[in-house]
Amino acid sequence: MSLVDIMISQMSTTRSIIEDGGEVVPVWRIATPEGSYLIFTRFDHDKTEQRQRALLLISRFMAWKLATSFVLAAETLLGSETTRAGDEAILVIGVSRNERLGLVQRIEERDPLRLGLPEWLQADQIDEAYPDLLPSKTSEITADEIAELTSIFGKDGEMAAERLS
């Protein structure tokens, strides 16, 4: 399945969750040489330290598993941190070594639910922090870090990684 196909699928799933009145938890689909993983990252969006910790852990997981690409699907506020005016949207980011893609769909109204048309983003509209999450050729993981990551991403861990393939 291509990065674009996965992104469209994740957009559809996220849209269904919102239509059903559910909570959208940021979800990562990470492709590795040993198969794909699905990881939910629940954190308080208003607590920067929680968001930063989740991103650091996801980045270390990708280094550990030698990730080749990922797709992130989340609900977000559009605009810069300081000027957000409540424009809610579904955001899907797809990153590989050769691609940086984004797909956004505005949530125009919640009750009744009304969504804008999905829009593809240009590569320069995607924060540099996303491609930086993929491991570099010089990434190293220590034995102690593997033990910690195994605990965090294991079956009963706080961010249990579900192997898809």
Residue 88: is it exposed, middle or buried by C-beta count within 10 angstroms (0-12/13-18/19+)? middle
Instruction: Determine the Cα–Cα distance for residues 18 and 153; give it in Å rounded to an integer.
Output: 26
Can you give the pTM of this predicted structure? 0.89
Q: Please tell me the predicted confidence (pLDDT) of residue 86.
A: 61
Percent of the chain past pLDDT 90, that is, above it, reads: 69
**What is the tens place of the pLDDT at every residue in 137-163?**
777 899 999 999 999 999 999 999 999
Confidence check: pLDDT of 56 > 80: yes
User: What one-letter code names the amino acid at 154?
Assistant: G
- The domain tally of the chain equals 1
pLDDT tens-place string over residues 100-117: 999 999 999 888 888 999
pLDDT digits (tens, 9 = 90+) for 17-31: 998 988 899 999 999
DSSP 127-149: -TTTGGGSPPTT----HHHHHHH
By the 10 Å C-beta count (0-12 exposed, 13-18 middle, 19+ buried), 9 is classed as: middle
Contact in structure between 31 and 69 (CB atoms under 8 Å):
yes
Domain that holds residue 88: 3-163
